[in-house]
Structure 1
Amino acid sequence: MGDLPTDRVTKRVRPFTNTGVHYFRPFEVEMFRRTMKKWVCLFTRLSVRAVHLELVDSLDTEACIGAVHRFIARRGQPQSIISDNGTNFVGAAREFKEAFQKLKKDKIASRLAEESIKWTFNPPAAPHFGGVLERLVKSCRKALCNGLGKQSLTEDRTRAVLCVVEQLMNNRPLTDVSGDVTDLQPLTPNHFLIGQISINWPNALFSGTTASYRKLIRDQHSILVAVWNRWMSEYLPSLQQRTKWAKEELIEPKSGDMVWIVDKDVHPFNFPLGRIQEVYKSDDQKVRSAIVPTATGSYKRPIVKMIPVNSDRK
């Protein structure tokens, strides 16, 4: 079991600096006396698991780009985005790259072009690479199913429901909830987005006849430092509980090794056979995926989907 990615443990950065994106749940929306399918595009802040939901009309590249543009307008431009290898995400990343290349030719937009987004794709057939996204998708789908059920709403009401689901997700506790009323509140994603659980600052914070703005800023800074310290001491250690694969037992694959590629839709006797052409390592210098050319094509797969042919390798 590897270390957590750097994007998951980076502290004190602007919200949604490192973002994950995933599509889920097509459902019916009433429009002009007929129903249409809509999808939800989920953006998550990788370090504190905050979510942002966008309603999209389709799964094509244009809809994906529109969702990203709306997300940037409301949350700011991220430095990096991770997603699976869906064709809509691949197309969106390509068009963003081409757009930034065009902007670089313009002297006015040269500064903006330097702030391009780094878009990273997880290997195909490797949902565990995006486990942080899959878990949040499950929670959002459960909240939507409880709120909508099988009924179809208008587009405005659907967006309102998504806002409520977003609020509930960002109010969920990240640390243990204590039954003692004198204990500290559990950390939630909203602590890192708006400073506390509720959607508005308490009126007492701004009460009084003479307001000391310098003291107010100093107090807000001290609260922010305390929140991040709790994130480091309470929440972060709970993510890295290595309950399995604690020691090195498997020999890492290398270029030139013969492997079978596991495919759940193919009988084991018909697994594609190939020789590893190139391996990819993570930040901890462990091989996590590889490219394997076979008779039916070249595949990029995680090593958990590969079986070594040599019998002397464990």
Structure 2
Amino acid sequence: MAIRGNVSTIRCDNGTNFVGANNELSKQIELSSGKVKDYLLENRIEFKFNTPEASHQGGVWERMIRSVRAVLNGMALKYNRRLTAQTLRTAFYEAANIVNSRPLTATNINDPEEMVITPNHLLTRKTTLLPALPPGIFGNDEIYGRKQWRMAQQFAQDFWNAWKADYLQQLTIRQKWTTIQRNVKVGDVVIIKDEPTPRNQWKIGIITNLVKGADDLVRKVDVRLGNSHLDRNGKPTSPTTCLRRPIQKIIVLIQA
């Protein structure tokens, strides 16, 4: 609340700290009287608890916590005792920004004014967000240097590389090969998996062509990236970038 501002509802599991906080706040409200009590009742935070022993009811946020924790656990040995408290806090802010910059949905990829919706838009309530680009190139040897800010940036870069791969795999529905799943279709909005992409930047496009194999399953696709140079009729005034990629390198964001 100190960072994001007041909230009206907190959804959580039945952890003792959450249940205790709810009981403590309720007790303090009962001890108040008159206008103070009325004010607190009108502006209090509502706790909504999951059913006990039903952690799956918080699957949306629990899965994200697991994803971030798995990446941080893998990085713990590399950065063990190398970051100061201030540097670690900066690195965690960078990691939080990366997670909250993930695309949730897309509207018109050709219109630069219509940004891809991310959690940061909901948290900051800003319609236009500039990507937090890394201020330089940082190698794996930064953790042995003396400059803490460069170490924090290397931490953020390592987090981006590991978390991006884990997040994109979450979007891909994994089934046994014996089960036929939906083929991608022309008009699907997709994210392109691209290793050299700077952090917090996602290549998003629309499938324009399909290439099927002998089994009639889509194996390759042509993806048209967004083009912000449009005339009044919505037609591009500059060449549009089209990429051919295997289906293993695309993640469906919105189905046609």
| Superposition TM-score, scaled by structure 2 size | 0.42
TM-score, with length taken from structure 1: 0.35
Report which of the two has the higher share of strand: 1
